[in-house]
Amino acid sequence: MKDNQINPTTSDASVAESSSLTSEQYRKKMQRRKEVQDQRIADASLEKGLVIVNTGNGKGKTTASLGMVLRSLGHGYKVAIIQFIKGAWEPSEKKAFSAWKESGQLMFHAMGEGFTWETQDRDRDIEKAQAAWNKGLEYINNPEYRLVLLDEINIAIKLGYLRVEEVLDGLSQKPERNHVILTGRGAPQSLIERADLVTEMNLVKHPFRDQAVKAQPGIEY
């Protein structure tokens, strides 16, 4: 089976099994499942700050990260967002989060000058990536910022604008309870191994690639 095809076998089998049960059998099955789940929750007693990596060729890496940003803001935590590549755009997210930005709860730094094929200046791209990393490191080391999002940093590492060893060293300095999210396709293996939570967005279909549909407000930006 190709990577971009969905395998329905497991879910279909589960649905078929459930539909064949009597009401009492189904109730007992769900009760057992709840007992297992409750035990897993009870056993998960450790609390720690996480290094989170969202990578892969599929859409949604930044979007998923902004969901965690929203949750953190809702809990009253201070958050910092540093954009490494998309800084030439005026993102709608920046407007949506403006109330928290004005209150000082959220710091938003769009420090890139756009995608690398637009800038066509490697030295300047390296300079901008290093400046973005230095800014991100300030927040990583600041215990007041419970969550730091380093958006598209994986691309900066992949293109050689930042050394992964430098990033790993910076992550080792974060306060114990604070979280750092690193997004972008092509996350290096050493970063994946260091991370506590890694999600790979796999591309199945994309309207730009498959239908020549342009980027649209509310979906891509």
Q: Work out the pLDDT band at 136, boundaries 50, 70, 90.
A: very high
Compute the C-alpha angle 191/66/208, nearest 5°.
Answer: 85
Q: Which amino acid appears at position 65 of this protein?
A: S
The tens digit of pLDDT for each residue in 150-183 reads 999 999 999 999 999 999 999 999 999 999 999 9
What pLDDT shows up at residue 90?
Answer: 59
Query: Active-site residue 208, yes or no?
Result: no
Query: Active-site residue 2, yes or no?
Result: no
Give the number of other CB atoms < 10 A from CB of residue 106.
Answer: 22
Choose the catalytic residue: 27, 48, 71, 163.
71
Sequence-distant (≥ 6) Cβ neighbours of residue 139 within 8 angstroms: 80, 82, 107, 145, 148
Q: How far apart are CA 183 and CA 8, in angstroms?
A: 29
Query: Active-site residue 57, yes or no?
Result: yes
Query: Active-site residue 59, yes or no?
Result: yes
Tokens of 100: 């928290």
Choose the catalytic residue: 54, 62, 178, 183.
62
202-219 mean pLDDT:
81
- Match 């800014």 to its residue by tokens: 135
Put simply, whether the predicted model's pTM sits higher than 0.85 gets the answer: no
Whether 3 has a pLDDT exceeding 50, the answer reads: no
The tens digit of pLDDT for each residue in 53-97 reads 999 999 999 999 999 999 999 999 999 999 998 654 556 787 889
